[in-house]
Amino acid sequence: MKQQPLLGFLFALITAMAWGSLPVALKQVVAVMNAQTIVWYRFVVATCALLLLLAYKKALPDFSKLGYFAGLAIIGVMGLAGNFFLFNSSLNYIEPSVAQIFIHLSSFGMLICGVLVFKEKLGLHQKIGLVLLLIGLGLFFNDRLEIFSGLNTYSTGVFISISAALVWVAYGMAQKLMLRKFSAQQILFMMYFGCAMVFTPFAEFSQVRELTPFAFGCFIYCCLNTLFGYGAYAEALNRWEVSKVSVVITLVPLFTILFAHLAHYIDPTDFPAPELNILSYIGAFIVVCGAILSAIGHKLIPKKS
């Protein structure tokens, strides 16, 4: 497809804003519904939408041709299901801006797996990016480091959030390998369908009736978010360079902090203000800089002649 930088940027921006706003809305829903039920509804909505799209394009995956890719599909399903469940669960313990700051651990996890599995080389820009990530996280939690000295509600939430980012790597690696056989949309359909099946025995469907009108609106937004977030991401990749799309996506944690402040300003009763100090904001910015450097640092750092 012909490169369309402006459209590519807009779609990438929509993706970052969608993913950034998601935990702010999810926080309202997890107070009433358990994580497995929320995740089941989100996967069912996404599966149905992709089923209609692929059927319309006559591009439904042929499951009989899975072969040894079936094992990869199972690994991917478990990774994605674990990511969604753990991320939703973490919001019971910590605020959205804290949960989202760990999103880039999955990217660095993919880098490490690339080195170990595909024998890729870790570039200087990626090493610097990793150091910036660690420095940024240290600054982000500058006023709460003592909380990590023992097991408590906050440290439990952080641990769950880190786990969510790391188990996503299993999905990311499985998808990367399955792209040799299937399209990105076909893989997502299989993953979403598999995840919906995983959570079906554990979902308590009646919990939806316990939502207030406001929480129900947040719930609907969370279900649709998976669709237009990933849909916009696919469109961005079709119209713009992967590295440039990745740079925009790194802004997700900053958007979460922004939306958390906006939500608190509009409705302080339902949305508490993020509990961050100046060093925390600087830390979040450094984390994003580290992710950006890892994505396009090879274009910024001159190679040795």
In a domain, 106, yes or no: yes
The crossing angle, in degrees rounded to 10, of helices 104-117 and 153-178 is 50
The pLDDT assigned to 108 comes to 80
CB-CB contact of 178 with 67 (8 Å): no
Lowest mean pLDDT among 19-28, 118-127, 247-256, 294-303: 294-303
- How far apart CA 25 and CA 31 sit, in angstroms, is 11
In a domain, 105, yes or no: yes
- How far apart CA 96 and CA 101 sit, in angstroms, is 9
The pLDDT assigned to 303 comes to 56
Q: Please write the tens of the pLDDT for every residue from 46-62.
A: 999 999 989 999 999 88
Q: Which of 33, 26, 171 is nearest to 99 (CA)?
A: 26
Mean per-residue pLDDT, 104-122: 77
Residue 40 sits in which domain range?
Answer: 5-300
In a domain, 272, yes or no: yes
The pLDDT assigned to 17 comes to 94
Contacts of residues 226-231 at CB distance under 8 Å and 24 or more positions apart, as own/partner, are 226/42, 226/43, 226/45, 226/46, 227/45, 227/46, 227/49, 228/14, 228/18, 229/14, 229/15, 229/18, 229/19, 229/22, 230/15, 230/46, 230/188
293: tokens are: 């450097």
| DSSP structure string for 3-69 | --HHHHHHHHHHHHHHHHHHHHHHHHHTTTS-HHHHHHHHHHHHHHHHHHHHHHTT----GGG-TTH
Q: Which of 90, 251, 58 is nearest to 165 (CA)?
A: 90
Question: What does the mean pLDDT of the chain come to?
Answer: 87
Q: Please write the tens of the pLDDT for every residue from 217-245.
A: 999 999 999 888 877 887 887 788 776 78
In a domain, 50, yes or no: yes
Give Rg (Cα) of the chain.
19
In a domain, 305, yes or no: no
Question: Domain count of the chain?
Answer: 1
Residue 298: band (very low, low, confident or very high) from pLDDT cuts 50, 70, 90: low
Tell me, rounded to whole angstroms, the distance of Cα 200 from its chain centroid.
22
Residue in the block written with tokens 């690339």: 114
Residue 291: band (very low, low, confident or very high) from pLDDT cuts 50, 70, 90: confident
The pLDDT assigned to 29 comes to 94
Q: Please write the tens of the pLDDT for every residue from 116-166.
A: 776 777 788 888 888 998 899 989 888 877 777 777 888 899 999 999 999
Q: What percent of the chain has pLDDT over 70?
A: 95
State the amino acid at position 6 in one-letter form.
L
Mean per-residue pLDDT, 25-37: 93
Residue 2: band (very low, low, confident or very high) from pLDDT cuts 50, 70, 90: low
In a domain, 213, yes or no: yes
The pLDDT assigned to 305 comes to 44
- How far apart CA 87 and CA 81 sit, in angstroms, is 10
